[in-house]
Chain A
Amino acid sequence: MNNKQRRVLVLFVDNSSGVLNRITLLFSQKGFNIETITCSVTCVPSISRMTIVTEGDDLHITQIMKQTSKLIEVHSVHLIDHCNSIIRDLLLVKIEIDDSNKRRVCDITNAHNGLILDIGSRSMIVEITASASIIDGYLEALKDFNILELSRTGVTSIQLGDDVPDMNIINNFEF
């Protein structure tokens, strides 16, 4: 089935300089847009976990997975199963408020399980950690308010249950 849709890929890669560049170059070369990309070190200090959100059909995603698997610094590549994973995005947003609308913003934030981090005389800072669609919904609910500043992290994810993805170092050189 060749349906073009949003996909989340998780890559376990060397924690070294140049790896991110190599992977993003590969996406550029194949004409793929990266919607979001996050990367951080794992419980193994030499390995980083990279989460990439992109859009493509099955053939393209399979090709990207094969091509990224070939890179020397990439240890394993996984396509995330949305039904079997926790997928989260972090939003930090600064909203303009006054006495007339402060209550309403607080209600909307609470309804989305948001956390109010700071209330100033003219603005409020909110944090929401949720799926991308809930964050999108929150921002939609705020469309009548003036957003002064916004920062989103991009997606990160982890598989449900006791299973863990294979982090085996497949390109292990013993020199």
Chain B
Amino acid sequence: MQLNGSDILIEVLIEEGVDTVFGYPGGAALNIYDAIYKYRDKIKHIMPVDEAGACHAADGYARASGKTGVVIATSGPGATNLVTPLATAYMDSVPLIAITANVPTSLIGKDSFQEVYIAGITMTITKHNFVVRDINDLANTIRKAFYIANTGRKGPVLIDIPKNITIAETEFVSKQKITPKPVQISSEDENTIKEVAKLINESKKPIIYFGGGAKDSSDKLREFMINSNIPSVHTLMGAGVLGYNEKLNIGLLGMHGSATANKVMNEADLILAIGTRFSDRVALNTSKFGGGAKKVHIDIDRSEINKNVNVDYSIIGDLNDVLDRFNKLVKRVKDDEWVKYLSDLISKEKEEDIKRNTNKDGIYPSRVMNIIGEKTKDAAIYVTDVGQHQMWAVQYIRHTKPRSFITSGGLGTMGFGYGASLGVQVAKPDRRVIHITGDGSFYMNLNEVSTAVEYNLPIISIILNNSTLGMVRQWQTIFYESRYSSTDINKKMDYVKVAEGFGAKGFRCETISEFESAFEEALKCKCPVWIECVIDKDLRVLPMIPAGGTVDDIIVD
């Protein structure tokens, strides 16, 4: 059938199974938005306050649902507003399609109104991008974009469509969606798997270190951990892949990970790195990371091998396939001294942590997070911004499900939280979304509460207000002799009134019991809620290993 470019765009989105898009209209995108109006019964459009909010929302939607997020923006400033969110999605390997309209091809390259070369701008922050210059290429370009976004290591793909292409007509033939095949394990890697399985069976002190790449392999990983009786540690992006209460799950590794988790990496004789990339927030000192242990890296992305830390063995493939093979080959004794030693260490550390964080006046973030976890159990999805609150959330909420702890790990994007929460709540309407933020991050995107109000998204925002940029201040305290350059925030905003002004509900808490009551009330509300928790600005996220340090440099008090 003969269709114009805008209709083709929507038809291919439908082919790809898309039922929700996030976006913001504009001059160059008028034809696309006309098609969105025409197809409104088939595709829902959510319009946040700006394109950045829309793109973070599409990202949150993808992270929570496992589907591909889609964002639409107009040319020029609309397109450039996607830069930070696209970089965020790229760093965390989120499948996302960004569609940008552009000025007509006749005006491209002439500094026309609202013209930018967004493909050039986003080249290093997208997995791939396209400029469509011929209407006959449009449908297949969109299909390719979805395929690329979901093949191997996932990531965002941008498609720039000039306005004249959105109205030009061509014959459109509908096609079946092509599902990317899992990355195949090579015969060489099959042999490595056998070799590594032998190594695992013979090892005395093995440890599993997993990251966000394992989020879709939770069951296989658990089976492997239990079957092999190997304790595991995880990165920020790996939070929730295995349950907090799993006996062998030691917990968070890295700069703000537990002392035990960091200690065991130095004591292990074999490290199995699974779906993780030895980031500088985990391998703080790459030359000393892992001590004398043999290192095995299992990943879908070949370019991650030996990038930050040199390993002894590498296996490239789909994690489910690789773990399946290990599950058939690996068997270890159950009465293991190593496991007992680590279990004792972690139990002791947890006890000390509980003592350190109870019976204190005022609002302690650890207690706030404990209460959130206790009251919501596994029913909620937690979305964080970036900073101290993010670390307290990962340390104390006790999240136990994959895709339920949504955070900007790689890029560390302040202002990610509210936009992402919108997408998460749209993707998972039956689960409660708890947005955990600090006052610094919240100021970067609090306007998006108007979107939550407009679309009846009952997101609960917990704002840990310490009137400062807490994590930066913490570094200034430790490394800059308390010279607090530009970190203290002296805004006089009344959170409760502003929340109400937006049409949301607001609470202010100065004690933990006030917080508990406010949170219980918030859970009953069917509208967006803000809970401001006033905390001491000198509170620090502990433990902490300084950048470039080792567990020997850990700060615990």
Kindly provide the distance from the CB of A15 to the nearest chain B CB, expressed in whole angstroms.
Answer: 15
Please name all residues of chain A whose beta carbon is closer than 8 Å to the beta carbon of B143 when the two chains form the complex.
Answer: 175
In contact, A25 and B124 (Cβ under 8 angstroms): yes
| A104 interface contact, C-beta 8 A | no
| B307 interface contact, C-beta 8 A | yes
Q: Which residue in B119, B144, B301 is a CB contact (below 8 Å) of A18?
A: B119
In contact, A21 and B120 (Cβ under 8 angstroms): yes
CB-based nearest A residue for B304: A66
Which A49-72 residues have a C-beta within 8 angstroms of B?
59, 62-63, 66-67, 69-72
Contact with A along B292-303 (1 / 0, CB 8 A): 000000000111
Alpha-carbon gap, A154 to B123, bound state (A) = 26
Q: Which residue in B120, B123, B175, B301 is a CB contact (below 8 Å) of A175?
A: B175
CB-based nearest A residue for B140: A175
In contact, A63 and B147 (Cβ under 8 angstroms): no
Report whether over half of chain A's contact residues are helix, strand or loop; otherwise say mixed: helix
| A22 interface contact, C-beta 8 A | yes
Contact with B along A1-45 (1 / 0, CB 8 A): 000000000000000001001100110010000000000000000
In contact, B123 and A72 (Cβ under 8 angstroms): no
In contact, A72 and B128 (Cβ under 8 angstroms): yes
**How many A-B pairs fall under 8 Å by CB?**
39
Which B115-134 residues have a C-beta within 8 angstroms of A?
119-120, 123-124, 127-128, 131
In contact, A66 and B140 (Cβ under 8 angstroms): no
Given contacts A21-B123, A22-B123, A175-B175, contact A69 B148 (CB under 8 A): no
In contact, B303 and A175 (Cβ under 8 angstroms): no
Give the interface size bracket for B toward A: 20 to 34
Contact with A along B274-305 (1 / 0, CB 8 A): 00000000000000000000000000011101
In contact, B123 and A63 (Cβ under 8 angstroms): no
In contact, A70 and B301 (Cβ under 8 angstroms): yes
Alpha-carbon gap, A111 to B148, bound state (A) = 54
Please name all residues of chain A whose beta carbon is closer than 8 Å to the beta carbon of B302 when the two chains form the complex.
Answer: 66, 69-70
CB-based nearest B residue for A18: B119
CB-based nearest A residue for B144: A173
Number of contacting residues on A, CB 8 A?
18
Contact with A along B62-89 (1 / 0, CB 8 A): 0000000000000000000000000000
Alpha-carbon gap, A174 to B128, bound state (A) = 17
Please name all residues of chain A whose beta carbon is closer than 8 Å to the beta carbon of B123 when the two chains form the complex.
Answer: 18, 21-22, 25
Kindly provide the distance from the CB of A69 to the nearest chain B CB, expressed in whole angstroms.
Answer: 7
Kindly provide the distance from the CB of A71 to the nearest chain B CB, expressed in whole angstroms.
Answer: 8
In contact, A175 and B144 (Cβ under 8 angstroms): yes
| B306 interface contact, C-beta 8 A | yes
Please name all residues of chain A whose beta carbon is closer than 8 Å to the beta carbon of B140 when the two chains form the complex.
Answer: 173, 175
In contact, A175 and B178 (Cβ under 8 angstroms): yes
Alpha-carbon gap, A26 to B143, bound state (A) = 25
Given contacts A72-B148, A175-B140, A175-B143, contact A67 B303 (CB under 8 A): yes
Alpha-carbon gap, A37 to B307, bound state (A) = 25
Contact with A along B214-248 (1 / 0, CB 8 A): 00000000000000000000000000000000000
Please name all residues of chain A whose beta carbon is closer than 8 Å to the beta carbon of B306 when the two chains form the complex.
Answer: 59, 62-63
Kindly provide the distance from the CB of A122 to the nearest chain B CB, expressed in whole angstroms.
Answer: 42
CB-based nearest A residue for B133: A17
Contact with A along B303-335 (1 / 0, CB 8 A): 101110000000000000000000000000000
Please name all residues of chain B whose beta carbon is closer than 8 Å to the beta carbon of A173 when the two chains form the complex.
Answer: 140, 144, 147
In contact, A69 and B303 (Cβ under 8 angstroms): yes
Q: Which residue in B124, B144, B178, B303 is a CB contact (below 8 Å) of A66?
A: B303
CB-based nearest B residue for A174: B178
Please name all residues of chain A whose beta carbon is closer than 8 Å to the beta carbon of B144 when the two chains form the complex.
Answer: 173, 175
Contact with B along A107-151 (1 / 0, CB 8 A): 000000000000000000000000000000000000000000000
Which B174-207 residues have a C-beta within 8 angstroms of A?
175, 178
A-B contact list, 24 entries, CB within 8 Å: A18-B120, A18-B123, A18-B131, A21-B120, A21-B123, A22-B123, A25-B123, A26-B124, A29-B124, A59-B306, A62-B306, A63-B303, A63-B307, A66-B302, A66-B305, A69-B303, A70-B302, A72-B127, A72-B128, A72-B148, A173-B140, A173-B144, A175-B140, A175-B147
Task: Spell out A's residues near B (CB within 8 Å).
Answer: 18, 21-22, 25-26, 29, 59, 62-63, 66-67, 69-72, 173-175
Task: Spell out B's residues near A (CB within 8 Å).
Answer: 119-120, 123-124, 127-128, 131, 140, 143-144, 147-148, 175, 178, 301-303, 305-307
* 4 tightest Cβ-Cβ pairs between the two chains A and B: A66-B303, A175-B140, A72-B128, A175-B143
> Could you list 8 further interchain pairs (A-B, Cβ under 8 angstroms) beyond the known A69-B302, A71-B128, A175-B178?
A25-B123, A66-B302, A66-B303, A67-B303, A70-B303, A173-B144, A175-B140, A175-B147
